[in-house]
Amino acid sequence: MDFSNLNKKASDSFYKQRNMLKQLAQGKTLKCEKCNGVLTLDLATSESGKGLVKCKKGCTDIALELGA
Ligand SMILES: [Zn+2]
Protein backbone atom coordinates (compact mmCIF):
# COMPACT_ATOMS: atom_id res chain seq x y z
CA MET A 1 0.00 0.00 0.00
CA ASP A 2 1.24 3.45 -0.93
CA PHE A 3 0.81 5.64 2.12
CA SER A 4 2.43 8.68 0.60
CA ASN A 5 -0.43 8.88 -1.84
CA LEU A 6 -2.94 8.52 0.98
CA ASN A 7 -1.30 11.35 2.90
CA LYS A 8 -1.32 13.56 -0.12
CA LYS A 9 -5.04 13.05 -0.51
CA ALA A 10 -5.70 13.90 3.11
CA SER A 11 -3.55 16.99 2.74
CA ASP A 12 -5.39 18.10 -0.38
CA SER A 13 -8.66 17.71 1.45
CA PHE A 14 -7.34 19.74 4.38
CA TYR A 15 -6.32 22.65 2.19
CA LYS A 16 -9.56 22.43 0.28
CA GLN A 17 -11.52 22.70 3.49
CA ARG A 18 -9.47 25.63 4.72
CA ASN A 19 -10.01 27.34 1.42
CA MET A 20 -13.75 26.73 1.68
CA LEU A 21 -13.82 28.24 5.14
CA LYS A 22 -11.87 31.25 3.93
CA GLN A 23 -14.26 31.86 1.08
CA LEU A 24 -17.33 31.46 3.26
CA ALA A 25 -15.86 33.85 5.80
CA GLN A 26 -15.49 36.39 3.01
CA GLY A 27 -19.16 36.03 2.22
CA LYS A 28 -18.67 34.12 -0.99
CA THR A 29 -21.22 31.63 -2.17
CA LEU A 30 -20.02 28.07 -2.48
CA LYS A 31 -21.95 25.21 -3.95
CA CYS A 32 -22.15 21.55 -3.07
CA GLU A 33 -20.19 19.37 -5.47
CA LYS A 34 -22.93 16.75 -5.43
CA CYS A 35 -26.30 18.51 -5.44
CA ASN A 36 -25.09 21.97 -6.52
CA GLY A 37 -26.98 23.48 -3.60
CA VAL A 38 -25.67 26.48 -1.73
CA LEU A 39 -23.35 25.68 1.16
CA THR A 40 -23.90 27.38 4.48
CA LEU A 41 -21.54 27.85 7.39
CA ASP A 42 -23.16 26.97 10.69
CA LEU A 43 -21.23 28.31 13.64
CA ALA A 44 -23.81 27.25 16.21
CA THR A 45 -22.39 23.80 16.71
CA SER A 46 -22.10 22.06 20.04
CA GLU A 47 -18.32 22.07 19.81
CA SER A 48 -16.84 25.50 20.30
CA GLY A 49 -14.22 26.51 17.79
CA LYS A 50 -15.80 24.44 15.10
CA GLY A 51 -18.04 25.34 12.23
CA LEU A 52 -20.17 23.12 10.11
CA VAL A 53 -20.32 23.54 6.36
CA LYS A 54 -23.36 21.90 4.88
CA CYS A 55 -25.84 21.92 2.05
CA LYS A 56 -29.58 21.61 2.38
CA LYS A 57 -29.65 18.00 1.30
CA GLY A 58 -26.89 16.98 3.65
CA CYS A 59 -24.51 15.39 1.14
CA THR A 60 -21.95 17.97 2.22
CA ASP A 61 -21.46 18.02 5.97
CA ILE A 62 -17.97 19.04 6.99
CA ALA A 63 -16.78 20.06 10.42
CA LEU A 64 -14.09 22.72 10.16
CA GLU A 65 -11.68 23.99 12.75
CA LEU A 66 -12.11 27.72 13.05
CA GLY A 67 -9.21 30.08 13.46
CA ALA A 68 -6.73 27.42 12.41
ZN1 LIG B 1 -25.36 18.66 -1.46
pLDDT at 1: 65
Expressed in angstroms and rounded, the spacing between residue 53 Cα and the centre of ligand 1 is 11
Q: Are 59 and 32 in contact (CB under 8 A)?
A: yes
pLDDT number for residue 67:
64
* Cα 42 to ligand 1 centroid, rounded to whole Å: 15
| Cα–ligand 1 centroid distance for 54 (angstroms) | 7
Q: Which pLDDT score, from 0 to 100, does residue 10 have? A: 82
Per-residue pLDDT 10s for the chain (68 aa) are 677 777 788 888 888 888 888 898 899 999 999 999 999 988 877 777 888 899 999 999 988 887 64
DSSP of 6-60:
HHHHHHHHHHHHHHHHHHHHTT---B-TTT-PBPEEE---SSTTEEEEE-SSSS-
